[in-house]
Amino acid sequence: MQQKNLTVFNTIGLIGRQGNPLVAESLSRVAALVLGKERSLVVESASVDMLEGVSGYSVSSRLEIGNICDLLIVVGGDGSLLGVARDLSSAGLPVLGINRGGLGFLAAISPEQITAQVSEVLEGAYLAEDHFLLKLKVLRAGQEIASTPAMNDVVLHTGTLSRMLEFALYIDGEFVYEQKSDGLIVATPTGSTAYALSAGGPIMHPKLDAIVVVPMFPHTLTSRPLVICGDAEIKLLVKKVGDIGPQVSCDSQVDIDLQLGDEIYISKYEHRLKLIYPLQHSFYESCRSKLDWASRLGNPAAGG
């Protein structure tokens, strides 16, 4: 639920994506701003080498930041926020994203807005939006071999091009269908604007308590995206693999190799991620600007 808040943050955690000089520049700007506001700053140990001209902060691991800070600022892109969501959603730590990546649906503050909008957030002028995650569990011969959360999506796929696999889909214990396709995407509303969108899935508002199931190039033309209750439990049974090595992936960042007969369970994760946005943030404006909805004949800003 999106809310306007007046809570003032005092201990700020800071994490930056590695290997990008643009991230380093913005990371240093954020650090200087936080310290200039006389707030305590805790920098992730992996990000310290990117800071320049800044002193007066402490250093901790990512997991420790989740326990000692009341706000986390992530400088990178949506991919960086996905990793933070999997690692720290259980800590209940609000997260603010500075976009140094691509589209930036989750990391909403652009580099030129850092001074104004981060300052507003630090003073308590912000919107808070809860995003639920999915939990993946893989069973092999009745034994759990893997378990991990995912913020955007869980994807069953072949791992190679031009190969299909066969699997069965169950929802809340009820058989839905068997399918031969390149795979299946199970996405949250957060992930509906990511991989699921490119596969023909619907755009879902972040407030929705729903999950979308999107087939990837199915063998039958009648297979379409399916929107189900957010509390549903999804089961996928790997039926046929041939000479391919199927995988299940979380947020395109965590890959698990599968075998014939493996059971994949997907359900809502017990923890949520609270994302912080500037007061000016609008989901629909993000869609207009990042998905190019504004490109049209006539006046792109006109309502009619």
Q: Hey, where are the domains in the chain?
A: 3-125+279-290, 134-270
According to the model, what pLDDT value does residue 295 have? 61
Catalytic sites, residue numbers? 78
pTM, 2 dp: 0.92
For 194-250, give the DSSP string.
Answer: THHHHTTPPP--TT--EEEEEEES-SSTT---EEEETT--EEEEEEE-TTS--EEEE
pLDDT at 293: 84
**Going along the chain, which residue ranges are E strands?**
3-5, 11-16, 40-44, 58-60, 71-76, 95-99, 126-140, 143-150, 153-157, 165-171, 174-181, 183-187, 210-216, 226-229, 234-240, 247-250, 254-257, 263-277
In the block, residue with structure tokens 């390149």: 182
- Gap between the Cα atoms of 15 and 17, Å rounded: 7
Is the distance from CB of 263 to CB of 236 less than 8 angstroms? yes
Distance, CA of 158 to CA of 173 (rounded, Å): 24
The backbone torsions φ and ψ at residue 8, rounded to the nearest 5 degrees and listed phi first, read: -95, 130
Domain 134-270: which CATH number of 2.60.120.1440, 3.40.50.920, 3.90.1150.10, 2.60.200.30: 2.60.200.30
Structure-block tokens of residue 133 = 């995650």
pLDDT in tens, 142-177: 999 999 999 999 999 987 666 788 999 999 999 999
> Torsions phi, psi of 197, nearest 5?
-65, -40
Cα separation, 271 vs 288, in Å, equals 30
Q: Output the pLDDT for position 95.
A: 97
Instruction: Assess contact for 102 and 18: CB atoms under 8 A.
Output: no
pLDDT at residue 304, rounded to an integer: 46
Residue (of 86, 72, 87, 66) closest to 16 by Cα position: 72
Domain 3-125+279-290 CATH (choose: 1.10.340.30, 3.40.50.300, 3.40.50.10330, 1.20.810.10)? 3.40.50.10330
User: What distances in angstroms separate CA 134 from CA 212, 224, 280, 303, one per listed residue?
Assistant: 12, 21, 28, 36
Per-residue pLDDT of the chain (304 residues; tens, 9 = 90+): 445 556 789 999 999 998 788 899 999 999 999 999 999 999 999 999 999 899 999 999 999 999 999 999 999 999 999 999 999 999 999 999 999 977 778 998 999 999 999 999 999 999 999 999 999 999 999 999 999 999 999 999 987 666 788 999 999 999 999 999 999 999 999 999 999 999 999 999 999 999 999 999 888 878 899 999 999 999 999 987 666 779 999 999 999 999 999 999 999 999 999 999 999 999 999 999 888 886 654 555 545 4
What pLDDT, on a 0 to 100 scale, did the predictor assign at position 298? 52
Whether residue 128 contacts residue 3, with contact meaning beta carbons closer than 8 Å, is answered with yes
Average pLDDT, whole number, for the chain?
91
3-125+279-290 and 134-270: identical CATH topology: no
